[in-house]
Each structure stands twice: as structure tokens, then as C-alpha cells.
Amino acid sequence: MGLIIFYGVMNWMPTLLGQTTLEPGTAKRLVGLFALGGLGAIASGYLMDRYNPNILNAILALLTAILIAFIGQGLSWGLMILVPIVILAGIVMNTLQASLPAVAALFYPTEGRTTGVSWMMGIGRFGAVAGSYLVAELVKRNYSLEEIFIVLAIPAVIMMFCLLLKQFIYKR
């Protein structure tokens, strides 16, 4: 789910924002600011050592959904609002994405940990492909910028529910 969002945003945001009133160079810089959010991933280990990883990541997923949806609205609010939204969305999304392999490693017993995490990472790559195709299909169907980013927020909501479900089903 996370890679659907990440690659949908990274591959399509320059094109989508370039078709608006923004200069093409500004649209490309915004994508760079989203990717810069990877610096927030540095905090993921610290936070996961101190808080319940499932709940923490569920909160990050909820924040990701909200901020990704706000990117589509941000143009109507102005560039001074859009830039911080894109930076925060990148920080939250990348922190969440960096935390998920550790959450998976905590879930599987030692003898199956490598296999479990590898399957998670491998299946996640389908999301990387799906994200780009999803946005292409939305563009083809003439979805508005706001609608595209709302659709891109849905996988984060699904992720949040899955993490909460995991927390309540598997107490350990």
C-alpha cells in the first residue's frame, strides 16, 4: 500500500502539477521536497523503540492519508501552504515506509523472519508498479487533481486498518 502511494506521487506529481498554473520547474522541486522527507525515516527506529510499532505506524498511515489528500487541495490554498504539506507528507510517508520492515521482522518467529520480511518486500514491489498504473488510469478517466490525490490516500487508510487489526488480533 505504501509503495502505491510513493510511486504514484513520485512518478506523477511533476506531470499533474505541471498541468496546473505552477511552473514545470516548481512542480519538479515539489517532488524533490516529497522525496527529501526520507530524512524523517531516521526517526523511525527511535520512535519504534519507545512506542507500540503497530499503533505508531497506524497513526503515521492516518497522517499520510490526510496529507496526501491535502496535496491535491493545496494548489487552491497557494504555494505557501502546498510546500509544507508536501514536505510533511514526504516525512510521514517515508518514516512509515521505513518502519514497516521492522514491524514485519517483529511479527515473524526467528526461523521464518527472513522469508516473511522478504515476501512483504517482494509483494510491496507490485505496489510500486500499481501506483503508476493507478494514476495513469485516473488521468485517462479525467479525474481532477483533487480526486487523484484522494484516491492515492486510500491505500494509507487501508494500511492503517491493517496495522490496527494486526495489533488487536496478535497481542504479542
pLDDT tens, residue by residue, 93-132: 989 988 888 888 888 888 988 998 999 888 888 988 999 9
Query: Does 172 score more than 70 pLDDT?
Result: no
Whether the per-residue pLDDT at 84 is higher than 90: the answer is yes
> Where do the domains of the chain lie?
2-9+57-169
Which own/partner contact pairs does 68-71 have at CB distance under 8 Å and 24+ positions apart? 68/5, 68/9, 68/93, 68/149, 68/152, 68/153, 68/156, 69/149, 69/150, 69/152, 69/153, 70/149, 71/9, 71/13, 71/149
List b or e across 143-165, with b for residues whose CB sees 16 or more CB atoms inside 10 angstroms. bebbebbbbbbbbbbebbeebbe
∠ CA 55-11-23, nearest 5°, is 115
Q: What is the pLDDT of residues 121-161, one digit of tens each?
A: 888 889 889 999 999 999 999 999 999 999 999 999 999 99
How far apart, in Å, are the Cα atoms of 136 and each of 3, 17, 93, 116, 132? 15, 14, 21, 31, 6
Q: Mean pLDDT score of the chain, rounded to an integer? A: 89
C-beta separation of 66 from 118 below 8 A: no
Helices (H), the chain: 2-18, 24-36, 42-50, 53-77, 79-107, 113-140, 145-169
Contacts of 132 by beta carbon, 8 Å cutoff, 6+ apart: 7, 8, 11, 12
Whether residue 11 contacts residue 131, with contact meaning beta carbons closer than 8 Å, is answered with yes
Is the per-residue pLDDT at 14 higher than 80? yes
Say which residue, 91 or 14, is predicted with more confidence.
91
- Condensed to tens digits (0 to 9), the pLDDT of residues 24-44 reads 788 888 888 888 777 777 888
